[in-house]
Amino acid sequence: MSIKHVTVIGAGQMGSGIAQVFAQSGFEVTVLDQQEAFVQKGLSSIEKNLARQVEKGRSTQEEIDSILSRVTGTTDLKMAATKADLVVEAIIEQMEAKVSLFQQLDELCPAHTVLASNTSSLPITEIAAVTKRPEKVIGMHFMNPVPVMKLVEIIRGLATDQETYDLVEQLSRELGKHPVEVNDFPGFVSNRILMPMINEAIYTVYEGVATPEAVDDVMKLGMNHPMGPLTLADFIGLDTCLYIMETLHEGFGDSKYRPCPLLRKYVKAGWLGRKSGRGFYVYK
């Protein structure tokens, strides 16, 4: 099957990044969100990212204009779904919201359309089960920031067929990404390893072992991490970190995945990291 038109649902940081890399690779892309303001913010983010490429001399303005001409925004789900060969969902990390969306997509999209989720932790099998095309449902987990990071975790659901997997793997390579096959377990590989590390870093602050700055310095200077775990948590969003830890804790039933009480407290206080202006650090 040939993929010509891609619909990305969710115009936030991840969705706009996904739309950008598809457009850069020559695909026609529709970006959809619930409100026009969200759509315009996502399109503006793409324009700003591409403008930096011109400033750095990596692209010409003509090349950027060509990329932008392949991206359109909308709030009309029916329109966006009916012309899609591939849908990549990048909405809030909540199963109820994803299930509702995939049920609608299953009804609206052509029979050949592949439905992919950018979920970072939720089971693809459960999402696929609400559709009549579970063989065409797959996980396509990009890393943040999408235009920069090379990895894509490709997650097979229980019913995902080989044709769908092969198609998404090849698409990932066309995007200049490095696809890695992962089975459908909570957190997959990336977040099953990363989030407990972040959670443990939060525990060291909670228990008074060290300050956030000290924890990050140890991991950067002692373990050669490019970014400390608490700075990274703020970048990801503490609410997202908490939700993934809860998914791991529920999915495995193991106390080692119990979210740190300090993480819960910060989220309840609205200290979500960079996006709220305060997390483990204060942002202006």
Instruction: Say which of 16, 153, 169, 199 is annotated catalytic.
Output: 153
Which two three-digit tokens encode residue 182? 């992962």
| Residue 11 known to bind ligand | yes
Buried b (16+ CB within 10 A) or exposed e, 46-59: beebbeebeeeeeb
- Distance (Å, whole) CA 34 – CA 219: 39
| Residue 265 known to bind ligand | no
Distances (CA, A) of 220 to 107, 168, 170, 202, 224: 48, 34, 34, 16, 5
**Which amino acid belongs to residue 146?**
V
CA angle 234, 232, 17 (to 5 degrees): 90
Q: Which residues contact residue 55 at a Cβ distance below 8 angstroms, ignoring those fewer than 6 apart? A: none
Instruction: Say which of 16, 49, 191, 199 is annotated catalytic.
Output: 191
| Residue 144 known to bind ligand | yes
| Residue 15 known to bind ligand | yes
Note if 141 is an active site residue. Answer: yes
| Residue 216 known to bind ligand | no
Contact by Cβ (8 Å): 117, 131: no
| Residue 217 known to bind ligand | no
Distances (CA, A) of 180 to 166, 185, 241: 12, 14, 22
| Residue 33 known to bind ligand | yes
Instruction: Say which of 120, 121, 172, 199 is annotated catalytic.
Output: 120
Note if 120 is an active site residue. Answer: yes
Q: Read out DSSP for 76-117?
A: -HHHHHHT-SEEEE---S-HHHHHHHHHHHHHHS-TT-EEEE
**Which amino acid belongs to residue 247?**
T
| Residue 14 known to bind ligand | yes
- Distance (Å, whole) CA 38 – CA 88: 17
**Which amino acid belongs to residue 281?**
Y
Instruction: Say which of 49, 118, 141, 169 is annotated catalytic.
Output: 141
- Distance (Å, whole) CA 203 – CA 263: 9
Residues annotated within a binding site: 10-15, 33, 93, 98, 120, 144, 275
Residues annotated within a binding site for NAD(+): 10-15, 33, 93, 98, 120, 144, 275
Q: Which residues are catalytic?
A: 120, 141, 153, 191
